[in-house]
């Protein structure tokens, strides 16, 4: 069980990247996104894409991050905070693989020092600055015990038939309908 906690989302400038955080978390196998800011429109947008492409991914808007971390830990969950200052993922991924309930935290700008203290591990996806989206995808790929790229999503309205050229999208709400655009 994996959930992602997004800290520091600024509605006026982080809409696109937070949407990508949510969609990437879903695509790589997280069950939901906790958004520690109030942006109902972003939460609805991610959930509506998620519904169309299948599965049960949810977004919880405007959470209190401290309470969420505390209650996750009280319920036996472990917390992996992604930060370029942390321990290199390559050195700790086998420890994380032994965890059963994992909260992955990503920030935007400066992350409060308390997050570093509350995390079970502060983990760097390489010790260079890059992006929360890249950090989530590499981490989830490394710690997964199946191939997240091959994951199927149940009850999808839309699904893709992999093809070497062009685009094949099946509209599952209409069994005759394959779109070749």
Q: Please identify, using beta-carbon distances, which residue of 27 and 156 lies nearer to ligand SAM.
A: 27
The annotation places the binding site for S-adenosyl-L-methionine at 82, 107-111, 125-132
Q: Considering the complex, what minimum distance in angstroms separates the CB of residue 15 from ligand SAM?
A: 15
Token code pair at residue 114: 């308390």
As a whole number of angstroms, the distance between CA 88 and CA 168 comes to 39
Q: Considering the complex, what minimum distance in angstroms separates the CB of residue 53 from ligand SAM?
A: 24
As a whole number of angstroms, the distance between CA 9 and CA 75 comes to 26
Is 37:150 a contact under the CB 8 Å cutoff?
Answer: no
Binding pattern for the stretch 44-83 against ligand SAM, x by CB under 6 A and - elsewhere: --------------------------------------xx
Q: Please identify, using beta-carbon distances, which residue of 50 and 104 lies nearer to ligand SAM.
A: 104
- Residue corresponding to tokens 């958004």: 35
Output DSSP code: residue 154: T
Considering only residues 82 through 101, tell me which ones interact with ligand SAM, judged by CB under 6 A.
82-84
As a whole number of angstroms, the distance between CA 137 and CA 77 comes to 20
Q: Which of 106, 115, 119, 156 binds ligand SAM (CB under 6 A)?
A: 106
Q: Considering the complex, what minimum distance in angstroms separates the CB of residue 76 from ligand SAM?
A: 24
To the nearest 10°, report the CA torsion of 140, 148, 137, 96: 10
Return phi, psi of residue 106, to 5°: -125, 150
Q: Considering the complex, what minimum distance in angstroms separates the CB of residue 9 from ligand SAM?
A: 11
The annotation places the binding site at 82, 107-111, 125-132
Q: What residues does 159 pair with on adjacent strands?
A: 170
Residues near ligand SAM, by CB under 6 A: 82-84, 106-108, 110-111, 124-126, 128-132, 135
């Amino acid at each position: 069980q994996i959930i992602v906690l997004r800290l520091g989302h600024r509605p006026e400038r982080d809409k696109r990247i937070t949407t990508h955080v949510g969609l990437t978390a879903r695509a790589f196998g997280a069950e939901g996104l906790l958004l520690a800011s109030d942006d109902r429109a972003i939460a609805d947008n991610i959930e509506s894409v998620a519904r169309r492409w299948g599965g049960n991914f949810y977004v919880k808007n405007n959470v209190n991050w401290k309470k969420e971390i505390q209650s996750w830990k009280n319920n036996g969950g472990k917390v992996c905070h992604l930060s370029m200052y942390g321990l290199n993922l390559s050195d700790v991924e086998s420890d994380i693989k032994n965890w059963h309930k994992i909260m992955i935290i990503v920030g935007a700008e400066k992350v409060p020092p308390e997050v570093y203290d509350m995390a079970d591990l502060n983990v760097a996806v390489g010790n260079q600055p890059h992006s929360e989206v890249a950090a989530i995808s590499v981490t989830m790929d490394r710690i997964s015990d199946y191939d997240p790229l091959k994951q199927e999503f149940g009850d999808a309205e839309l699904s893709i038939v992999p093809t070497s050229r062009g685009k094949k999208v099946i509209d599952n709400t209409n069994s005759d309908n394959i779109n070749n655009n």
